[in-house]
C-alpha cells in the first residue's frame, strides 16, 4: 500500500507532508528503521500520520520498522476484524503482543476473595480469550488479579489467587498460550492485590506453569519499587513480557527519569526476543509528537 493512500485524514496535503516529514517517501519497500528489540506500538499512537483507519495505522507501524504490535482492547473487537488483524501481522512477520484477557475488578476483590463465582467468571474469560488469541496469532494475554480483599489475611488471598491461576494455566497449556501477570503501582491503581515484581515472581513459582509468567511494566515498577535492573535480573526466569512508559508522565522514553537505553541494552544482552509493549502516551500532540516518539525510540535503541 502506498503511504499516500492513508494520510487522507491529515490536515496537511500529501505533498506538504512529504516535504516536511522524513517518514514519508516514495519508496516503501524497506522499513524506515531496523530496531534491535520488538517494540510494540498500539492503535492511536500514530493516528495523525496514518489516519483513523486501524489497518492504515498497522501499515504505518510496519513501514516504520516496528516488529511487534499490542492492543489491550483486542478482545472487544469483532471476530472478522480480529482475523483480519491476525492475517496482516502474519503476512508481515509482526509479533502480536498482549491483549487484556478478562474483566478487571478495579474496586472490589475477585481472585483474591476466593469467591467461586468470580473464579468461574475469570476462567470462562480465559477460555474465550483462547479463541481471540488464535485469530490474531497471539502468544500472551494480560491478567490483573484485581482488588485486595481487605477482610482476608494476605496469605489467604495469595493462595486464592494461586489456585485460580493454576486452573487457568490448565486451560492455556493445551494451546501453548501464556497469561502474563501485571503488577500495577499504588499511585495510579490504589488497592490492587498485585503490585510488585517479587510478589509476581513468588506467585508464578507457586503456580509452576509455562502458561503463567510476569508482565514487567517498567513504568509501574519504577514507581512501585525502583531498582529496575536488579529486579528484572531477580525475576528474569519468570518474565515473559515487558511494557514501557517513562516516569513521570507515562510517555515515550527520554521524557522522564528512566534510563531506557541502559535497560534496553540489558534486556537485549540477556537474549530477550519477546515483545516490549509501548503502553504509554505521546508527550506532544499531533504530527510533531509522533515524530518525537519515533526519534526517542531510535535514540534509546542505539545501544550496540
164 lies in some domain: yes
In a domain, 34, yes or no: no
What are the strands of the beta sheet with 38-40, ordered from one edge? 38-40, 275-277, 239-243, 212-217, 178-181, 140-143
120-138 pLDDT per residue, tens: 999 999 999 999 999 999 9
Q: Is it true that the peptide bond before 248 is cis, omega within 30 degrees of 0?
A: yes
Give percent of the chain above pLDDT 70: 90
pLDDT grade, residue 24 (50/70/90)? very low
pLDDT at 23: 57
**What is the domain extent for residue 284?**
53-300
Specify the CATH number for the domain of residue 123. 3.20.20.150
Asked if the structure places residue 201 within a domain, the reply is: yes
Q: What's the CA dihedral at 34, 254, 43, 6 to 10 degrees?
A: -60
Q: How many domains does the chain have?
A: 1
In a domain, 44, yes or no: no
pLDDT at 30: 62
Domain assignment present for residue 73? The answer is: yes
Q: What are the pLDDT digits (tens) for 2-21?
A: 434 433 433 333 333 443 34
Q: Is residue 86 part of a domain?
A: yes
Q: Is residue 75 part of a domain?
A: yes
207 domain-assigned = yes
pLDDT on residue 32: 75
Amino acid at each position: 500500500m502506498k503511504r499516500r493512500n492513508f494520510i487522507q485524514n491529515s490536515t496537511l496535503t500529501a505533498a506538504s507532508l512529504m516535504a516536511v516529514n522524513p517518514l514519508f517517501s516514495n519508496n516503501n519497500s524497506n522499513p524506515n528503521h531496523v530496531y534491535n528489540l520488538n517494540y510494540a506500538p498500539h492503535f492511536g499512537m500514530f493516528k495523525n500520520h496514518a489516519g483513523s483507519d486501524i489497518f492504515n495505522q498497522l501499515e504505518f507501524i510496519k513501514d516504520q520498522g516496528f516488529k511487534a504490535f499490542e492492543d489491550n482492547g483486542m478482545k472487544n473487537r469483532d471476530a472478522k476484524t480480529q482475523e483480519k488483524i491476525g492475517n496482516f501481522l502474519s503476512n508481515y512477520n509482526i509479533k502480536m503482543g498482549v491483549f487484556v484477557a478478562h474483566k478487571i475488578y478495579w474496586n472490589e476483590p475477585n481472585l483474591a476473595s476466593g469467591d467461586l463465582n468470580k473464579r468461574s467468571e475469570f476462567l470462562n474469560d480465559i477460555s474465550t480469550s483462547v479463541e481471540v488469541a488464535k485469530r490474531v496469532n497471539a502468544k500472551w494475554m494480560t491478567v490483573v488479579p484485581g482488588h485486595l480483599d481487605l477482610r482476608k489475611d494476605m496469605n489467604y488471598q495469595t493462595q486464592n489467587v494461586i489456585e485460580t491461576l493454576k486452573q487457568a494455566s490448565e486451560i492455556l497449556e493445551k494451546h501453548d498460550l501464556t497469561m502474563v501477570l501485571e503488577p500495577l503501582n499504588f499511585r495510579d491503581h490504589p488497592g490492587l492485590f498485585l503490585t510488585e515484581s517479587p510478589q509476581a515472581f513468588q506467585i508464578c513459582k507457586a503456580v509452576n506453569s509455562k502458561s503463567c509468567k510476569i508482565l514487567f511494566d517498567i513504568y509501574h515498577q519504577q514507581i512501585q519499587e525502583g531498582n529496575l535492573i536488579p529486579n528484572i535480573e531477580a525475576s528474569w526466569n519468570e518474565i515473559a513480557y515487558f511494557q514501557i512508559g517513562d516516569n513521570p508522565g507515562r510517555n515515550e522514553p527520554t521524557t522522564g527519569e528512566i534510563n531506557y537505553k541502559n535497560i534496553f541494552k540489558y534486556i537485549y544482552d540477556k537474549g530477550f526476543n519477546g515483545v516490549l509493549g509501548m503502553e504509554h502516551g505521546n508527550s506532544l500532540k499531533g504530527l510533531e509528537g509522533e515524530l518525537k516518539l519515533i526519534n526517542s525510540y531510535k535514540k534509546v535503541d542505539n545501544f550496540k
